[in-house]
Amino acid sequence: MNYHFFVGNDNGNSEHDMIIDGRLVQQPNVNCTVDELPWSEEQTPESFIRNLQEQLVVTVDSPAARPGMYYVGTFALESGEILDNLQIGIDLKCDMDLPVVNTLAQIAAVAVQKAYEEDKKVPDHIEVEVDMATALPVTQHTDETSAKFEKRFTSGTHHVTVHLGIHRVAVKIVFPFAKVVPEATPVIFALQKDTAGHWREGEIFKEFAEQYGLDKKFNGNYFKDKRILHVDIGDGSTEYPITEGNKFLRQFVHGSHHGAGYAIEEALGDFNRLIHLPDSPRQFFSDVIKNPKHKYNARALKTLKRPMESQSRQIVQNVKRQLTKARNEIDLICVYGGGSILMRSMLYPQLEELCVEREIQLLYIPADYAVQLNALGLDSFVRGKIYEALKNKATLPQPVQA
């Protein structure tokens, strides 16, 4: 079976958010290498299909990563094995195997699910051609690092075996073209248009429209010519790019090593002591915080309060720095990313005061959309005319030098 997928790939430090062939996949961005399959008894391969992302085991043979068998995402996190994750503030994503392996694994998993949905049987072999847009933090994004990250996907063929119990599906993946952009910048596409290409509207803008007394039929057309200071709060970094319409203003590139992950790392020791564990991974702590019903939720939030306040203050200082550089010539500040949810109670009042003072609007993206906005933007970008033009330019024959 042969497929062509468009992929918007937000490889976050904590969470991996991808839109593959129109499907949103959200998983912890971790994996672990293992020596053998976790299943010995015979299970029907069909029983794995529906929840494949939660029990994803793959063998990867790729020129871009160390070959081996991997548990990926949730299955790795719950396995008790030694995890590989992105060390915030330390690892360069373009050099790491983790984002490559997890990207290939998730694409292969969606291909298996799609083949089963169409044929109602498990295939033995699938070939996938991928057009992909992904991103690097502003603090890591240069012409060199972006080209290096792109080549890890485009140089050669990637072979992924998806294990459905003891049944194997061979998936061959090629990337004729991939584009790596600075994180946060594709969000402007997601603010303006939905996946069908219509002006975005609905709950995502409800609070914003009410706050500023805007039309009830408010939609993404409002942002098409606005100068926006983005505040994309992740686990390991916060990005503060400025966009005007669909343009990224390179003279205002700025990112800082602040985010929810730093607060979590600081709180993790206290949290582990409170729950009588010698150690637990950052992603486990993140899962506990996200789940109000978890028995450790109250204790996790208690240990997180002070470090989170410190990170919020640092982010506000960086926002002020960008506003000063732009001489306050900003129409609105747009705040999103996984960290924005955890920081909202501390960050919103400070930013609101700042915006009133400097005559700027504040769009604080609701929790239901804050995490996936980057992936939505990358998905819009990879399907758009700019990506198509870049791809055509890259694949044109180059003139021979005399």
pLDDT, one tens digit per residue, over 155-167 is 999 999 999 998 9
Residues 35 and 72 occupy one common structural domain: yes
Pair 116, 227 in one domain: no
Reported as a single tens digit per residue, the pLDDT across 308-349 is 999 999 999 999 999 999 999 999 999 999 889 989 989 999
Of the residues 157, 182, 207, the one at which a domain ends: 182
Tell me which residue has tokens 């055509």: 392
Q: Is residue 208 located within the same domain as residue 170?
A: no
Please check whether residues 218 and 353 belong to one and the same domain.
yes
> Which residue range(s) make up the domain with 221?
187-371
Confidence of residue 284 (pLDDT cuts 50, 70, 90): confident
The answer to whether residues 262 and 205 belong to one domain is yes
Question: Looking at residues 41-48, what average pLDDT do you find?
Answer: 86
63 plus 126 within the same structural domain: yes
pLDDT averaged over every residue in the chain: 91
Query: Does a structural domain hold residue 75?
Result: yes
Do 54 and 103 lie in one domain? The reply is: yes
Does 106 map to a domain?
A: yes
Given this model, what pLDDT does residue 218 score? 94
DSSP code per residue over 338-389: HHHHHHHHHHHHHHHHHHHHHT-EEEE--HHHHTTHHHHHHHHHHTSHHHHH
Contact present, 8 and 24 (Cβ < 8 Å) = no
Q: Are residues 62 and 194 in the same domain?
A: no
218: in domain: yes
If asked whether residues 213 and 362 sit together in one domain, one would say yes
The reply to whether 379 falls in a domain is no
Same-domain status, 192 and 108: no
Together in a domain, 58 and 159: yes
Pairwise CA distance, residues 111 & 53, whole Å:
12
Same domain, 174 and 298: no
Number of domains in the chain: 2
Collapsed DSSP state (helix, strand, coil) of residue 260: helix
Residue 299: CATH number of its domain: 3.30.420.40
- For 181, the enclosing helix (H) or strand (E) is strand 167-182
Give a yes or no: residue 70 inside a domain.
Answer: yes
Structural domain ending residue among the three candidates 182, 214, 237: 182
Flag whether 140 is in a domain: yes
Q: Assess if residue 386 is contained within a domain.
A: no
User: Which residues, in sequence order, are CB contacts of 143 under 8 Å at separation 6+?
Assistant: none
Please report, rounded to a whole number, the percentage of residues in the chain having pLDDT higher than 90: 64
Residue 109 lies inside a defined structural domain of this protein:
yes
For the ranges 77-81, 220-224, 265-269, 302-306, the maximum mean pLDDT occurs at 220-224
